[in-house]
Each structure stands twice: as structure tokens, then as C-alpha cells.
Amino acid sequence: MNNMTCPSCGSPMKRNGKTKSGSQRWRCVGCGASATHSIDTAARDPAAFVGWLLSKGSQVDMPGQGRTFRRRCARFWAIWPMPEAVDEACRVVYVDGIWVARDCVVLIACSDEFVLSWHLARAETAAAWRSLLSRVAAPEVVVTDGGSGFAAAVAAEWPSTKVQRCVFHAFCQVKRQTTTRPKLQAGIELYGLAKELLHIETLAQAEWWLERLRQWCGFWADFLEQRSVVDGRSVYTHERLRRARSGLVRLADAGTLFTYLDPALAAEGPLPATNNRIEGGVNAQLRSVLRFHRGLTKLKRVKAVFWWCYLHVERPKSMADTLRQMPTDADIDLLRDRYGIKADDLEKPEKWGEGLVWEELHHKTRYPYSVD
């Protein structure tokens, strides 16, 4: 209180008598505004709740083995910290999804410094990706690991944005099919080509790599067409190699492997070739939170992810404002009962202020969708 500043102009304030209730009155020495200072004790409990949720602390180590903590913080599990629309465009946006359960994924978009938005879905569908992208201003480049449905979503929501496919995920896609010690000569050569993706730094190197991929495809074309009879059915003998080839050829044809080398885009500075920013800076942290609290239900794990993302946006609200403004489970149930929106009635992804994705948690329909 000795360092109280004016909420209007930021100048220091001095004591100026007391109010009728006995509270200390303060007056600004700069603009003359008068104010009182009160401590918001209502924000202490949610701060303690979030502090525990995002740490590796155990409730059993708390006084009374956490019984008082659980009683005071139980109501905060009903809060849904939701993202706001991001109107300021970033140069690069990273997107990825973290799976909380087999049929529950949180799609996340972040910049080099902050989390931008997140969206809950049953799967990485085009509609789910569009709901995430529609709340974020279109960047120059988006870096992705190539999740299903993303290509259609980015073409619809961010038509002018260039896509950079994470080259490490492209390499891993080949490695899953060939293993790290392929026995066939064709597999050894293709694995080597995929590994070189991680070390390409110039357009000349990229063009030479694409040429070598075309040469490999032409040289081993007849070999990959060989067929065998398995259980009375004719199948391709080298199906895994064919899948690895198809993945690389598809990315090469789409032109998303070497977006980071585009001179027009890289003029303002180097661009990332991988999705490491969101993999290490977001997903790894979220997995740690979920690992520290392994006993949480699926719904609570989702809310833990939401809380972490919310506290890592550029300007998170205070705990007091969060309690007043963020929706709760009761708010969502009330909206369901009042509007009765059905999934079949939705034809396009909802913008911020129109959709929150709650039906995916209540299991009232097999179709994922969002309503407000």
C-alpha cells in the first residue's frame, strides 16, 4: 500500500484521510484522482489451484493431505479458460495437436513467443483445424507436421499463407517405413535421402535433392512394382517402401518441403524448417503437466491443457477477471438447453464468440462441433 500508484495516470498516490467505512483514501499527486485500495482475496484460491495444477507438487504433501485444498479449489475445475481472437498477424505460426485421450485432441497455435489459440476436438479434421485457424490472423508462413485435414483447412482460412512442412517429421515418416537399418539397397538409399532433408540450407541443395529423389523413383520403379501372393491375395512385395516413397513424392509435388528457403519470404530473416518451437516449447511442457498428475480424468486433463495455454498467451487476464469472465460447465449446459443447437445444422466452423466445442465433452452426439 505504501507504493500505491494511480490507476488513471500511473503517478504515485498519497494518503488522504479515510472513507466513512474506515478504509484508507488515496489521492494522486499528478491528476488529483481519489481511490481506495482493497485486496482481492477471491483471487488467492484460483491462483493456488493453478499453481498446483501446473507444477509437479502432490496434494498428499499439503497440510491435511490436501483435503482443505480440494475443498477450496473444487469449484475451479468447472472453469474453461478460453482464447480470445488474435487480430495481430505474426510472421510465423506453429500448429500442432496434443492428444489427451484416444478420441480427444487439443489443437494449438503458437508464435515464437506466445500461445495464440487452442481448440478441442475429437480428431484432427479439416473442420477442427478451421475452427482453430479462424480465430488467428493469417501469418506469412505456418509450420505444421502435416496432420490430417490441415491442408484443406489452411487453404480455406489462410489462402495467402505459405505452408512449411516440418522436415524432421517428413524424415520420421520415411524412417517409420524403412527403419534406421534398412536391408534392401532401395531402402538404404531412400533413408539416406530422407536424412539429408535435415541438413539442406540453400536452394541449390534443395534442387539437387529433388533431382536425386526423381532419379531414385525412376531407377527403382520396376522394383517397387513387384507383387507377391499372400493368403491368396496379390499384394505389393515392398509395400512399406512404396509408402515411404509416396510420402516424399507427395510433399515434393506440394512444394511445402523448402518454403523456408524461399528468397521472398526469407528476406526479413531466416525461417524455421521444423516444428521444434511448439514440440519442445509447448507440447513437451504439457506432457510434463499431464505426467505429474496422472490420476486426472480425461475432462480434467483437457482443462489442465487449457489452463497452461491460457497462462502462456501474451496478455492473460488476472485471476479475478478470469473468474468473472470465463464460462463454466453450468454456463455451457444452460446454453445447450436454451438453444438446442444440433451438429447437423452447422455448415461451417464457428468464429470466436460463436463457438466453444462443448458437445465433444458431453458425448451427446457423435459429430464434433462448436456452439456458443
pLDDT value for 39: 64
Give the residue-averaged pLDDT of 152-167.
Answer: 94
Give the residue-averaged pLDDT of 303-322.
Answer: 91
pLDDT category, 32, cuts 50, 70, 90?
confident
List the 24-28 sheet strands across, edge first. 13-18, 24-28, 34-36
SS3 state at 188: helix
DSSP code for 359: H
pLDDT category, 57, cuts 50, 70, 90?
confident
Rounded to the nearest 10 degrees, how much is the dihedral formed by the CA atoms of 209, 214, 216, 222? 170
Residue 277: in which H helix or E strand, if any?
helix 276-278
Select from 80, 122, 152, 135 the least CA-distant residue to 368.
Answer: 122
Q: Point out the least confidently predicted range of 68-72, 136-140, 182-186, 349-353.
A: 349-353
Q: Is residue 365 predicted with pLDDT exceeding 50?
A: no
pLDDT category, 361, cuts 50, 70, 90?
very low
Give the residue-averaged pLDDT of 349-371.
Answer: 44
Residues pairing with 233 in the sheet: 230
Do 350 and 370 touch, CB atoms closer than 8 A?
yes
Contacts of 46 (CB under 8 A, 6+ apart): 73, 76, 79, 319, 322, 323
Select from 165, 168, 162 the least CA-distant residue to 199.
Answer: 168
C-alpha cell of residue 16 = 488522504
C-alpha cell of residue 271 = 525461417
d(CA 32, CA 35): 10
Give the residue-averaged pLDDT of 165-170.
Answer: 94
User: What would the pLDDT profile of 224-274 be if each residue is shown by its tens digit?
Assistant: 999 999 888 999 999 999 999 999 999 999 999 999 999 999 888 999 999
DSSP code for 330: H
Q: Is residue 370 predicted with pLDDT exceeding 80?
A: no
